[in-house]
Amino acid sequence: EVVLTQSPGTLSLSPGERATLSCRASQSVNSNYLAWYQQKPGQAPRLLIYGTSNRATGVPDRFSGSGSGTDFTLTISRVEREDCAVFYCQQCSSAQVTFGQGTKLEIK
């Protein structure tokens, strides 16, 4: 099973700052099957990024994804108060889906 480790555990930023969230895999991941989600309290997760770098429908362009192999990144160019949430990465390998443990983004 591919283990995804996200860092940092918590990120505290002011509005307008840049957020860089990391997702590291225990073995190489097919970049077509790397996705990112945002989850706000009491809500279902929302797909942000699929295929490493493709924004899902309706996702603002301040969200971007990059990476390859074992290292992937979600970047929020200028955080806004509404971005306060937990972010998860997800991968699929050998028909098994795993999620990272999440990064909590706090807005000061």
Residues binding other proteins (CB under 8 A): 1, 32-33, 35, 37, 39, 44-47, 49-51, 56-57, 88, 90, 92, 95-102
**67 vs 102, beta carbon nearer other proteins:** 102
Residue 51 C-alpha from the chain's centroid = 12
Q: Residue 65's CB: how many other CB atoms inside 10 A? A: 23
**DSSP structure class, residue 56:** P
**54 vs 77, beta carbon nearer other proteins:** 54
Q: Residue 52's CB: how many other CB atoms inside 10 A? A: 22
**14 vs 95, beta carbon nearer other proteins:** 95
- Min. distance of Cβ 100 from other proteins in angstroms? 7
Tokens standing for residue 48: 């942000």
